[in-house]
Amino acid sequence: MRKDVVVVGAGHAGIEAACAAARLGCETALVTLRADRVGEMSCNPAIGGLAKGQLVREVDALGGAMGRIADASCIQFRVLNTRKGHAVRAPRSQNDRDVYRRAATETVLATPNLELLEGEVAGFLVDETCAERPVITGVRFADGRQLSARAVVVTTGTFLRGVLHTGEEQRVGGRIGEGAAATLSDHLRALGLGMGRLKTGTPPRLDRESLDLAALEEQHGEPSPRGFSFYGPRPALPQICCWITYTNERTHELIRSQLHRSPMYAGRIEGIGPRYCPSIEDKVVRFADKDRHQVFLEPEGLDSPSIYVNGVSTSLPAEVQEAFVHTIAGLENARFLRHGYAVEYDFVHPAQLDWTLKVRRTEGLWLAGQINGTSGYEEAAAQGLVAGINAARAVRGEGSFALDRSEAYIGVLIDDLVRSDPREPYRMFTSRAEHRLLLREDNADRRLAARGHALGLLSAAQLEVVLAKEQRIEAAAARLRSTFHEGRSLATWMKRPEMDLVSLGAVHPVAREIALSDDEVAGLEVDLKYEGYLERQRLEVERLKSREECRIPGDFPFETVEGLRNEAREKLQKLRPPTLGAAGRIAGVNPTDLALLLVHLERARRAELGR
C-alpha cells in the first residue's frame, strides 16, 4: 500500500496533521495503536487557558480542527483574565471527554483522502542511497506490514518507550490502559537524532457522589459561551459547574513524610518534569512557605461520575494518594476511580528540526507534539497543523509554510522550540510573545484567515465571513471617530481605562446603535483604546523585519567569520538559522555576533553580484 502522507499517532497533533494533509489533496493515512482512542484527552479534559487559548483560536483561524471539536464537546466555557488587558485574555473550555473523542473520530472519518489505520509503527522505510541524507519512504509495522509514503509525520505523544509510575509500581505504557511504542525510538536514534527523556503526570479521578460539594466554592462559566471556532457553531451542550477547594498543612505534612516513596524523589524517574505544571510533591517541596494550594474539581463529562482533581498531579503510592486527598475539605470521604500516575517517555531535541518541523538531517520526516518536548494538547495541535501542511506541500512540490513570531503564537512556539532546544517540557505563555497585543485571541481570524485560505484550508465563503467582520469593525471605528461629544470624538473617549462600548453608550447614543458580536466588540475596543500602542508595535515589527528577512545561506561557513565568539559559532553551526533575525533569537548569540555576521553576509552578497 502507498500513501502520499503517513501520520503516526492519532492524538491532538496527529489529527491536525492528518486532516490538513488530506484536505490539501494528499492521500493520507493516520496510524494509531487503538482506533477507539482517536483524540483521547489523556490528562485534563479541558482545552485552552492562558496563551493556550490563543493557540487554539489560531489553529481554528487557519482551518484546523481543534476549535470545532472543543466547541462540540464544551460543558463549561470561560474567558480568563477578564480583569486584565486584552493582550492576556484567553478562552478555556471544560470538555466532555467521551464527546470530544467521538467528535475527533468523526472529524477524521469525515475527511476526504484520509484513512484511519490501527497498528504499531515499529520503524521507518529508509532509502540511504542519497549521498546527502537518508530519505524516509514509509513506515514498517510491528506485525511486518509496510506502508510506503512520500512524507511521514510522527506525533507519538508520550508513547515512545513510555513507562507509567505509581509509587514503587512501574508499567509499560503511554497512558493508563494502553501500551507503548517500543522500538520507534531506536529507529529515530539510528537516523542520528539526539533524544532525551521527559516526564509528565496526571492527578487522581474521584467519584462525584462521594464528594461534599456543598461545602465547596462553586465556579461557573459564561451563561452564553461563544466558544473557540470562528467558523463553526457555538457550544450547544448544557453548561456545568466546577468547584474549588484547597490543600492544607496536614496535607503537606503527610506528603512530606512519604516523599521517599515518590518515584521522582527516589530516583526511579530520569526524565525532567514540567516546571510550570508541577506535581503536588514538587509544590510542597518548592513552595514550602505556602500553607495551602488551590485545587479545582472538574467534571469529566455530563454523564460521567468522574471528577478530575486539577492541582494534585501525583505519582505517590495509591494508599498515600488516598490518605492525603482525604485531608482536603470536601474530599474527606472521596472514592477513587483512578489513582494519579507519572508518565516517562522519550523525546527528540527540537533544535534538530527546521521552522517547518522537518528533521534537518533527513528527507521526508516531520515531528510534531510532545515528541518535540512540548506539553499540552494545544501546543501539540499547533505543531501538528504546521507539520501536516508542510508535509503536504513538500509532496506537492510547493514552498514551505511558516509563521513569524509577529504573526502568531504558533510562530513563537515553533521558533522557541527550534532555536532554544528546551530540555524540559515547553509550555506556551503570553509572556513569550513580544508582540502579544497584536496577537490577541479575539483577532486570530483577522490575522490568519487569509493565510488559511491561501493554503487551501479555508473556503472562500469562510474568508468572506472574516473580511465582512473586518469591514464592520472598521465602519464602527470610523463612526466613533467622526462623532463628537464635549469637543472630543467618541473614539477618544474610548481610550479611557474604564471605558468600554457599553459605558460609551451612556455618553452618547451613537455608541448604543453599534451592533457587533462579542469578538467584534473586543476588536473594536482594542483597536481604539490601544491605537498608539498597536501602531508602535507594528513599527517595531517592520523595523525588525528588515533584519529578519536578511537570509543566511544554508551552507554558510560560520567558521570563517573572524571575531565570532566560540559559543555563538557553535550554536549557529548547530541550529543553522535561515535569517539574521532568527540568529538573533538564539540564546548565546549577542548583537556583536550579529553585526559581524551582517558584515560577512553583505560581503558575500557583493561578491556574488560582482561575478
Read off the amino acid at residue 93.
Answer: S
Cα gap 373→379, rounded to integer Å: 10
Q: Is the pLDDT of residue 611 over 60?
A: no
Q: Is the pLDDT of residue 607 over 80?
A: no
Dihedral sign of CA atoms 469, 385, 159, 416 in order: negative
Q: Is the pLDDT of residue 110 over 70?
A: yes
Cell of 472: 464592520
Using CB atoms within 10 Å of the CB of residue 97, give its burial: 0 to 12 exposed, 13 to 18 middle, 19+ buried: buried
DSSP assignment of 462-525? HHHHHHHHHHHHHHHHHHHHH-EETTEEHHHHHTSTT--HHHHHHH-HHHHT----HHHHHHHH
pLDDT of residue 64: 98
Average pLDDT over residues 170-174: 88
Band (pLDDT 50/70/90 cuts) for residue 600 is: confident
Using DSSP's 3-state secondary structure scheme, residue 141 falls into strand
The single-letter DSSP state of residue 551 is B
Beta strands in 237-287 (DSSP E): 242-246
pLDDT of residue 394: 97
pLDDT of residue 56: 98
pLDDT of residue 587: 66
Read off the amino acid at residue 404.
Answer: D
What dihedral do alpha carbons 131, 134, 136, 142 form, nearest 10°? 140
Average pLDDT over residues 91-100: 98
Band (pLDDT 50/70/90 cuts) for residue 610 is: low
pLDDT of residue 576: 87
Evaluate if pTM is beyond 0.75.
Answer: yes
Cα gap 156→160, rounded to integer Å: 7
Cell of 253: 505534612
Read off the amino acid at residue 273.
Answer: G
Dihedral sign of CA atoms 162, 165, 169, 173 in order: negative
Residue 109: CB partners within 8 Å, gap ≥ 6?
116
Cell of 477: 471605528
Widest distance between CA atoms in the chain? 82
pLDDT of residue 278: 85
pLDDT of residue 154: 98
Cα gap 582→563, rounded to integer Å: 20
Read off the amino acid at residue 587.
Answer: A
Nearest to 92 by CA among 269, 185, 227: 227
Q: Is the pLDDT of residue 579 over 80?
A: yes
Average pLDDT over residues 248-253: 97
Average pLDDT over residues 534-544: 82
304-349 tens-digit pLDDT:
999 999 999 999 999 999 999 999 999 999 999 999 999 999 999 9
Read off the amino acid at residue 189.
Answer: R
**All domains in the chain, ordered by first residue:** 2-199+344-432 (3.50.50.60), 459-541 (1.10.10.1800), 549-610 (1.10.150.570)
pLDDT of residue 354: 93
Give kind and range of the element (H or E) at residue 114: strand 114-118
Q: Is the pLDDT of residue 142 over 80?
A: yes
- Please give the span between the terminal C-alpha atoms of the chain, in angstroms, as a whole number: 50
Using CB atoms within 10 Å of the CB of residue 502, give its burial: 0 to 12 exposed, 13 to 18 middle, 19+ buried: exposed
pLDDT of residue 276: 66
Nearest to 307 by CA among 332, 336, 283: 336
Q: Is the pLDDT of residue 302 over 90?
A: yes
218-243 tens-digit pLDDT:
999 999 999 999 999 999 999 999 99
245 vs 432, more confident: 245
Read off the amino acid at residue 358.
Answer: K
Q: Is the pLDDT of residue 534 over 80?
A: yes
Cell of 400: 514551505
CA angle 187/190/191 to nearest 5° reads: 95
CA angle 377/99/153 to nearest 5° reads: 40
Cell of 521: 466588540
pLDDT of residue 131: 65
pLDDT of residue 583: 84
Cα gap 425→334, rounded to integer Å: 31
Using DSSP's 3-state secondary structure scheme, residue 291 falls into coil
Nearest to 75 by CA among 50, 103, 54: 103
pLDDT of residue 178: 84
Question: Percentages helix, strand, coil for the chain, rounded to the nearest 5?
Answer: 40, 20, 40
pLDDT of residue 238: 97
Average pLDDT, the chain: 92
Cell of 412: 513563537
342-377 tens-digit pLDDT:
999 999 999 999 999 999 999 999 999 999 999 999
